[in-house]
Amino acid sequence: MIGFLVMAILWTILPVAGNVLSGSYDTAKFTTVGAYIINVMQSVFQKGPEGWGQTLVNVLWGAWFGRVMLETGIAATLIRKTVELGGDRPLITIVLLDIVTTVIFTSMTGAGPVIAIGVIILPILFSLGVPKPIAMFTFMGSVAAGIFLNPVNFVQYQTMFDTSNLFPKLAGSDHVYEWSSYLPFAITALLVMLVVTIVSTAMAMNKSKTVHAWAAQTSPAQKKSQNVPGYSLLTPIIPVVLYIGFNFPVIGGFIIAGFFALFATGRMSNGFKANSQLINKMYYDGVVDTAPLIGFLLTLPMFNAAAGYAAPYFKAIIGGLIPKNVLVVCILFAVLAIGGLFRGPLTLVGCGAATLGVMGALGFSPLILYPLFAIPTITMNIGSCITQSWVAWGLAYSKVEGKDFLKLSIPNGYVISGVLSLVVYFFFQSGIIR
């Protein structure tokens, strides 16, 4: 959050200074230098965050839904039944837990839910003798796989592309990127990341020695999940099914699924006042879970707006180095996928906003740019990078060294990025994404 704020300030000062000194701003529209500067300040620091209202409300309602999943015991029940199904076969249990985790995070997002699920799953994996770095790697990879199909994350990234000043060569609404364009790739990406992560986990398990380090503990969430009805376990897929199948509003899906879970688990049987207090508390806890994310989301659009002003300068410096051929660009994204680590130039939750601005100014369509940037953002940053909040938590919680985690996550991320970059090219050329 602070990094984006600082960069937004710097990237506002430098282009404005350059435009003023060269006289390249619109002198017909702005009769004085002061009027031009005030307009830029309004665009970056006021209109930028205001324009992300849609993203924020989706995040907040998604956080509330995540709290419902946790507080009703539905998430813990899914995990417990998965472990029972896997029995004493560690690899089978890992596969089942990875699938369940992926499904859960197609609708839940944020550090709070990841941590809440992690404190249940990680001790189970440790108790089965799974080495801690492998347990961390497979859990975080399955979380990231679900994020590919998560509507909240889609809306968050979509807002970055629905900015006409980043795509000056596109007319009218051509710069807008829709869910219908993304869906075929999202489903494919989820399956590819889940399968490759499971295969990588199996290979790592074969090379490692089984270590029994922790005893599995029954958490309060698991205890209160004993009586959760079976049909309530459909809850996590309801928002996604409604969104995919019926183009149902994201927030509406969360509300329907949330109240379905509350009624199905008997949490709404205490009278209107008590029920209202319960819902308010869950919303409060959800907002607390996502507070750092909200701060991040309010500084990121400042950075994006500033990148729009800085893009012509970056285009002049590095624009000639970026190839125009789509296949070559896809290959470069695969080869340079490591640029998604440490908030680098290929992640949308990092310096990728600047790269996006340059490529938009060069005339690339969001149809190709959105999935290409989503790959390193999710595989390398969300699922592999130690700067990701829940990965940092997991390393501290499990006492795993960052380098041991990265030894597993980076090669896995490279394989996934390579496969998905070629998928993007195939989908784009064949008209599957349009």
Listed range (195-209, 230-244, 416-430) with the worst mean pLDDT: 230-244
Mean pLDDT to the nearest integer, 278-295: 82
- Residue 258: name the closest of 53, 115, 120, 60 by CA: 60
Listed range (196-200, 206-210, 213-217, 228-232) with the worst mean pLDDT: 213-217
Across 182-315, the runs of DSSP E, i.e. the strands, are none
Res. 434: pLDDT tops 70: no
Q: Is 77 helix (H, G, I), strand (E, B) or coil?
A: helix
- CB 383, CB 140: distance < 8 Å: yes
CA dist 348 and 364 (Å) reads: 16
Res. 214: pLDDT tops 60: no
- pLDDT over 90 for what percent of the chain? 20
CA dist 97 and 220 (Å) reads: 19
Q: What angle do CA 339, 345, 350 make, to 5 degrees?
A: 105
Token pair of 299, please?
């500084």
- CB 177, CB 366: distance < 8 Å: yes
Res. 51: pLDDT tops 80: no
Q: What angle do CA 329, 331, 334 make, to 5 degrees?
A: 110
Please return the burial class of 421, using the count of CB atoms within 10 Å of its CB with bins 0-12, 13-18 and 19+.
buried
Res. 217: pLDDT tops 50: no
Q: Tokens 């979509």 correspond to what residue? A: 158
Give Cα 329 distance to the centre of its chain.
23
46 or 66, greater pLDDT? 46
- CB 391, CB 402: distance < 8 Å: no
The top-scoring range by mean pLDDT among 68-77, 81-90, 347-356 is 68-77
pLDDT of 160: 74
Res. 389: pLDDT tops 80: no
Which run of H or E residues covers position 20?
helix 2-22
Work out the pLDDT band at 168, boundaries 50, 70, 90: low
The top-scoring range by mean pLDDT among 126-130, 212-216, 326-330 is 326-330
Res. 144: pLDDT tops 90: yes
Res. 22: pLDDT tops 90: no
Res. 196: pLDDT tops 90: yes
Res. 114: pLDDT tops 50: yes
pLDDT of 347: 85
Mean pLDDT across the chain, nearest whole number? Answer: 81
pLDDT of 241: 81
Work out the pLDDT band at 141, boundaries 50, 70, 90: very high
Mean pLDDT to the nearest integer, 169-195: 81
Give Cα 220 distance to the centre of its chain.
28
238 or 433, greater pLDDT? 238
- CB 122, CB 135: distance < 8 Å: yes
225 φ, ψ (degrees, to nearest 5): -90, 0
DSSP one-letter string for 294-354? HHHHHHHHHHHHHHHHHHHHHHHHHGGGS---HHHHHHHHHHTGGGGGGG-TT-TTTTHHH
Work out the pLDDT band at 117, boundaries 50, 70, 90: confident
Res. 256: pLDDT tops 80: yes
pLDDT of 331: 92
Work out the pLDDT band at 171, boundaries 50, 70, 90: low
Mean pLDDT to the nearest integer, 362-387: 86
150 φ, ψ (degrees, to nearest 5): -85, 120
Q: What angle do CA 104, 59, 53 make, to 5 degrees?
A: 160
Res. 222: pLDDT tops 70: no
Q: Is 224 helix (H, G, I), strand (E, B) or coil?
A: coil
Torsion (CA) 277, 280, 281, 284 in degrees, nearest 10: -160
